[in-house]
Structure 1
Amino acid sequence: MISMPPSDSDLHAYVDRQLSPSDQRLMQSYLASHPEVAARVRAWQQDARHLRTALGGALQQPANPDLDPAMIRRRLKYRSRRYLASAAVLLVALSVGAVSGWQAREMTLLSAAAPMADAMQAYRLFAQEGILPADYQADDEQHMQDWLDRYFTRANRLPDLSNAGFKPVSGRLLSTEQGAAAMVVYQDPSGQKISFYVRPPGPRNFLLPRGSRRDGELQAEYWSGPGYNYAVVIPSDTPAAQKLRQTLNF
């Protein structure tokens, strides 16, 4: 039975069609009398339709042995770091197929409307939903830093969030129309996840001032450094959120 007023989890369950028939009717009645919440839910439903359309064909494709990560790492082992970055973008495009094409288009359109909207979209898609597996998993921060350095040689160091109880556990390469992007997922002992996102600047080399914005249940703290835009995405209504903001000096 959902609560009233509904939580963000209840609203997401409604968008994902996971509610019982009685809860579905209750939610529809609530949304009919709360147009501002209904507008937010409609936007989520539109995002969900786009994702289902993009993922529907890619997830049914047969496995391609040429894309085995171990084989690819051996092929790329002796090449320069700059070539590794270019090859990684091609790898993501080939292995994810239609997903990355639509994802790049979707994320670029979103980022034009709001700062680092693609970072929030990536968090929902890969950290919250876990639709596709990580490209890399690490048991300590140095291994994760080494992985990130292979593709982003001039990027800022990974933020140290150990004082807030978070450590990096996995990474994923993504693609945008401006080039390769990456998301590193952090996790605390309770299983709470946050993400560090790095991407090239948008069109016309658009760098961001240091700032913060909220979208639904997520908070993004964003900034720019030499050559890249960055964001840390945090579930906003959690006990760790305030401590994380203090750790990041926002």
Structure 2
Amino acid sequence: MSRTFSETDIHLALDNELPADEKAAFDAWVDANPDMKALQQRYAQDRERLRSALEGIALEPIPGRLTSVLTGDAKPRTNRWAWSRYVAAAAVLLAVGGLGGYFVGQRAEFAPQSSALKPIAENAVAAHLIYANEKRHVVEVGADQAEHLNAWLSNRVGVKIVAPDLKSGGYDLVGGRLLPFNGKTAAQFMYQDPTGNRLSLYVTKDDSRQDSGYRFMTERGADTLYWLDGGYGCALTGNLPEKALTQLADLTYDQLVKSAGEPH
């Protein structure tokens, strides 16, 4: 059975990193999905514009002071202006796939990403696209039974869950439902603003108990901010820019992770 492709594979294809034996299936998937084809064309155009605009800079020799900072062999200068110039130059080199990316890839060590983190985001998007468009069956249990909803989902997911109050962010709780997640379970809370725009919160138990920090992605037309913290895996999904999602995520974090207590 062929695997499911996503927006990530578009970037892999543009970078010539998509496995050769998957190219035919990927091309067929793009042709069958107009939205993904439009994204591919936009990314390809952006890539060429960036390359054309910055090609001259990327071909310049990399200053020794910059490479030493990128590789961690030297500390940046305390002069803010000098350091900002180094950061800008590094960003240019990384953006066009120049030598700066090579040095970072060879020498920098990054914290590993939990294997559960990206699937949480992907499952959250899939669930949001299904249920945010429902008219009569948006949730299994309504907000009028919030106490029962919280207890039910806490017991089934295996971590104490309290539906965050996002009214100060402009969203009222509609209710929630139980969902599957990689052989386990997850909770989905649905919210709605006065215009009818819907936002969903996806929560599952994270046994790794890592703290990933917020991560953002846009996939299949949905914007998602997702993270791991304190035994919770969370994703907030809607049609909102990253800044607005971050403000709502802060409200969610304060109530769900800080106030809900430790996992069962």
Larger radius of gyration: 2
Aligning the two structures, in what range does the TM-score lie when normalised by the shorter sequence? 0.3 to 0.5
- After TM superposition, the score normalised by the length of structure 1 is 0.46
